[in-house]
Structure 1
Amino acid sequence: MNETLARLLDLLDLEPIERDIYRGKSQPSVIPRVFGGQVAAQALVAACRTVEADRLPHSLHSYFLRPGDPGAPIVYNVDRIRDGRSFATRRVVAVQHGQPIFHLSASFQTAEEGLSHQEPMPDAPDPETLPTAAEMLPQYEDRFVHPSVSERLLDVRRAIDLRYVAEPPFATVGSPREPRSQVWFRTTGALTGVHDDPVVHLCLATYVSDMTLLDSVLLAHGRGGWTVGDVVGASLDHAMWFHRPFRADEWLLYDTDSPTTQSGRGLARGQIWTRSGELAVSVIQEGVVRVPRSR
């Protein structure tokens, strides 16, 4: 396991402060706020810590309330809303500087058998045929709004191997195309020992789910996003449904699209598929997507 992946896993290992209260650290950021996927993943970790081990989350619904401060710890307060025979519900509020910055509700279920169906997995090339971040990102460095953007993106990819099926938004600025994006992703090392826990795999997928979800919105308008400075964006809400078991250290296909953009907001939908063709996770998010005002 490389150092960057170890740091990411350490980020998800929250410090218990009191019963149902946890504290988390943040990663350095090139933007003046905490990455939304980090807050969502940490909040889910906090919720999972208060539920019996045989119950895993099957859904979460969350709102981003305020920008998080990357230089300060985040305190996660968990409310045990309900513990039923098969389901449990938790509410988590993330707090910084005395104010809530994020709110999450998660539902948990004891595993059981039932009816099962799914739609077919979309076509995509094998991940091994696609360029790595180290091969792709340097050629676009001159387009990024800040010199450290490429370095930061590469650092994240040392923990998460993320490979675009087609060119990303920052590579096609000014050329609108179909509002759909696909990426393959997995951790850059095997999850073993204490890290080989279903909760860890679920929370890592939650972390990654916020990385490229709004790409499809940007593609529809030929915009490159915050990396090139032609769009001001931020996550507003985020919902996930966990359907089937998966491993975050094995290749997963993240297929996203955008049905609409309006009023400074864009809606994006995503599905995460295992390489064997099982629908593992569904995701929906609405985010702020604003064109900066010209001076």
Structure 2
Amino acid sequence: MDKITRKAYAKINLGLDVLRRREDGYHEVRMIMQSVGLYDTLTFTRREEAGIVVVTDKEELPGDESNLIYKAAKLLTETYGIGQGVHIALEKRIPMAAGMAGGSTDAAAVFHGMNEMFSLGLSMEEMCVLAVKIGADVPYCIKGGTALAEGIGEVLSNLPGMPGCFLVIAKPDIDVSTKFVYENLHADRLEYHPDIDGMMDALGNKDLEGVAARLGNVLETVTAKKYPRVEEIKAFMKARGALNALMSGSGPTVFGIYDSKERAYETQEALEQAGLAKQVFVTDPVNEKR
């Protein structure tokens, strides 16, 4: 196959807890991850000559060796001795620096795309073992759906899919560094921890209100404190019918859960008119494994 197109789905965190900072500098986490229907598109084209070419449609996103797409392609090429080259074109729709694993899910799409294009025959688990070298979120993005992530995020357990609903996702005009957030998080001083076990029970019972009631993210203690806009958007969503709202990942993106399509789209329009966020989407959970 000489040309392949893959969708790279964004994620949100229904629950994000940090248990401790490890001696190696990483943080031990316990998170519930959920794929959503907002995605980037990657198009892979085989090149007869060796080498990796990455082209993006965003001027601020270079296609050089700093890009996770390039890193993933290079890792696969070197690990499996791929003699031919690949041209990868990225159509970016997931907001950048947003806490939605945009870079990680693009890297995950590279594993899927190159596995198929070069007939590597890799299982999902084999891809995940290799992918953690690129980033802790990449193994989850390879699997997608709904999952409990532990360790540094790479220990994954499949969970029942999120009940059907509408999600309003709002990315304010703020860029947040994940490194900054974790460096300023004091895991040993956290007074609140989200109810991850209760969230898993609610998912198992297909209880949307139970899921919404248990949303929680300890990273808000850093990001929302520095950027009050996060709490402002959460309150705005809840005032307009969201069952609940939460910051995703290290932020600043906020999502609200709605059981009404009409209220979701009304909120999207209101957020845009109020100037609280430049990028606002209405989407839904994606529970199917890729």
Q: With structure 2 as the length reference, what TM-score do the two structures score?
A: 0.25
Higher relative contact order (CA 8 A, sep 6+): 2
Between Structure 1 and Structure 2, which shows a larger proportion of helix residues? 2
More strand by share: 1
